[in-house]
Amino acid sequence: MHPFINDLDHLKDSEVEAKINDLSKKYWMTYNTEVRQQIVMVLDTYREELAKRRKVEYEKMMQSQGKGLDKLINIS
């Protein structure tokens, strides 16, 4: 976690993805290793947030699909 990034809940998924793309471009534009390390820390924070959101969405989708599948299997 980067110490200056606290709350990402107010950002949309597309905004987080845009920030990841922007920071990735900036990473490759600089040759300063200290700046690159800071960019990597911020990138990791955004990537973790995006992965967390996708996991939550996937779990919700699986739960909603699982309820409808119970009636399809009939063992007699």
- pLDDT tens, 14-54? 999 999 999 999 999 999 999 999 999 999 999 999 999 99
Mean pLDDT of the chain: 86
pLDDT > 90 fraction of the chain, expressed in percent and rounded? 62
What region, left, alpha or beta, does residue 74 occupy, with left being phi > 0 and alpha being psi -120 to 50 degrees? beta
Q: What's the pLDDT score for residue 70?
A: 57
Q: What's the pLDDT score for residue 59?
A: 87
Can you tell me the distance from the alpha carbon of 35 to that of 40, in angstroms, rounded to the nearest whole number? 9
The total of other beta-carbon atoms located within 10 Å of residue 47's CB is 14
pLDDT band at 67 (very low <50, low <70, confident <90, very high): low
CA distances from 31 to 27, 35, 39, 44, 58 (A): 8, 8, 12, 19, 38
Q: Is the whole-model pTM more than 0.75?
A: yes
